[in-house]
Chain A
Amino acid sequence: MIDYLVEKEYRGLVDAYERVGGDRSALLNNDVASLVVHENKILSASEIEGVKLTGESQEHGIMAGLLIEEDCKVSRPIHLCFGILPQEGLQEIGLRVDVRRGAEVKVIAHCIFPNAVHIIHKMDAVINIEDNASFSYKETHYHGESGGIEVIPKAKVTLGEKALYENTFSLVEGCVGKLDFDFEVSSAARSVAEMILKVYGKKDDVIKIAERVNLNGDGARSLIKTRVVLRDRARAEVIGETYGNAPYARGHVDCIELINGEEAIGKAIPIVLVRNEKAKVTHEAAIGSIDRRQVETLMARGLDENEAVDVIVRGILR
């Protein structure tokens, strides 16, 4: 009976995963490391040489660990899938990532809550990327249309010397619900951090985004790029902070919020602070309606106004 239920949950989650763009074959391939978690159950886990994936079930979620061994270059992306299929639930993910010296890895994660009416999904991550290591993490969410979900991803990321960290978070399908995103990066010398976040707020979505980068090492570089589109009564507050604490540190905060509705509200708070005379941090933030010239350019190619707006929105969230 238990096996039957697990199999049913696995099939349901993987079907949903595939519908939102996940690669089903990757989860079945023994050459690809993967982890599939439904509620607090680990439905499947696959390791490969140089990659250690651990998981332990908790009352309301799991504690997971991902370790990439020194100098291991993982040729194919690791696939993670977290989700809850019922309408209600609580999922708390504790994640510890260690990318050892010189290792290189890409992770593709999907978080799927297609039927959410009252769901809370929390992630607390500690990510440690050692010297000369590279970690690329791309997370895509699908929440269904009701908006009855609260998503609270938090992470503390530490970069060693010459380490590379790329994080892309995308929540553009279905309703956001409530999002409280909070990531902090501490960067050592000549490391590079690039965080891209794309969110499409609709109905009564409430979006709060806080991203901080501490450029602590000589020549450390960072980019925080945020793209938010808001319609209906959705609200967003985006705080992008970068601190230039070391010589030749370079950081940039780039936030665009497009407002496509009379009741939507967007707010951007870029904070840039430099503590070293040789560091430089810049920012740009733009909040406003969709550019009329862009719309008319597409209309002059024969698109209706709504089609033109849709192309522009899809572009900015791509």
Chain B
Amino acid sequence: MLTVENLQLRLNGKLVIDDLTLQVNDGEILGVLGENGTGKTTVAYLIMGVNNYKPTGGRVIFEGEDIADLSVSQRAKKGISLAWQEPARIEGLRVRDYLKLSGSNFGIEQIERCLLMVGMEPSQYLDRDVDNTLSGGERKRIELASILAMRPKLAILDEPDSGIDIVSLPLILNGIVELNKQGSSVVLITHNEKVMEIVHRVSVMCAGKVVRTGVPAETSQWFKDNCRTCLHINVPADKDKSI
């Protein structure tokens, strides 16, 4: 479904993404695991085309088409969507309307179902605004509900588990599994190897590269053994010859 080939991004002379190759298969949840500063969010932005990021090398191919020159909207219309690590707050936009514009043909019952799937009681949230009156955890769950409403072919979820309390985390993970069950492939970006229990494959990132891909249990253990104490964190790939 998605092939990222030899992707490169150089920002202000610094190599942020270095010859990164990644494959997402139809119907799978791919975990992208890496410590802070390894380039995970940058890869998400390059796939979605946001933040004015343009690859300085390589290709992003979705369903056989190179999408590098498409706008964010065009990519979304082809079936890709992104849930941000820190979702935007939009004053005056009600939760019901935010979810409705994500799932344009949805009636209220379907919107309510999306909220219930992430553990949110519709009567408490439908008429609230997607603004800074929501806690970080609430906003993240609403972001996931909006992805559920959109039903994209490919959902990129950037650290949906970070900043989430212990009670909400299973609800978030359940929502991701439901998203996958309803037909979406998922790229699940995180630095928490414990979340990898719901994914089908794992790719580990280090200094802008994918350094290992494999089955969840083994690859997560490898990440735990090697990356937790790694000195490569936040070292640009072009400055560290040992990678």
Contacts and interface: CB of A to CB of B under 8 A. Distances in A.
Interface in A260-312: 291-294, 296-305, 311-312
A314 B92 contact: yes
Interface in B85-118: 87-93, 101-102, 104
A318 B75 CA distance: 29
A303 B73 contact: yes
Contacts of A302: 73, 76-77, 81, 102, 104, 150
B82 interface: yes
Contacts of B75: 300
Contacts of B72: 296, 299-300
Interface of B: 48, 50-51, 71-73, 75-77, 81-82, 84, 87-93, 101-102, 104, 129, 146, 150
Nearest to B78: A302
A296 B50 CA distance: 7
B194 to A, nearest CB: 27
Given A293-B88, A315-B91, A316-B92, A301 B71 contact: no
A300 B82 contact: yes
A315 B73 contact: no
A291 B51 CA distance: 11
B90 A312 contact: yes
17 contacts: A291-B88, A293-B84, A293-B88, A294-B89, A296-B72, A297-B88, A299-B71, A301-B76, A301-B81, A301-B146, A302-B77, A303-B73, A303-B76, A304-B73, A315-B90, A316-B91, A316-B92
A317 interface: yes
Contacts of A293: 84, 88
Interface in A202-229: 227
Nearest to B79: A302
A40 to B, nearest CB: 37
Contacts, number: 65
Contacts of B91: 227, 256, 315-316
Majority DSSP secondary structure for residues of A touching B:
helix
Contacts of B51: 292, 296
Interface of A: 227, 256, 291-294, 296-305, 311-312, 314-318
Contacts of A227: 91
Contacts of B92: 314-318
B147 to A, nearest CB: 9
B156 to A, nearest CB: 9
A98 to B, nearest CB: 34
User: Which 6 pairs from chain A and chain B are nearest by CB?
Assistant: A315-B92, A318-B92, A299-B72, A315-B93, A302-B76, A297-B88
Nearest to A301: B102
A268 B94 CA distance: 27
Contacts of B73: 299, 302-305
B90 A301 contact: no
A41 to B, nearest CB: 37
Nearest to A317: B92
Nearest to A294: B88
Contacts of A304: 73
Nearest to B80: A300
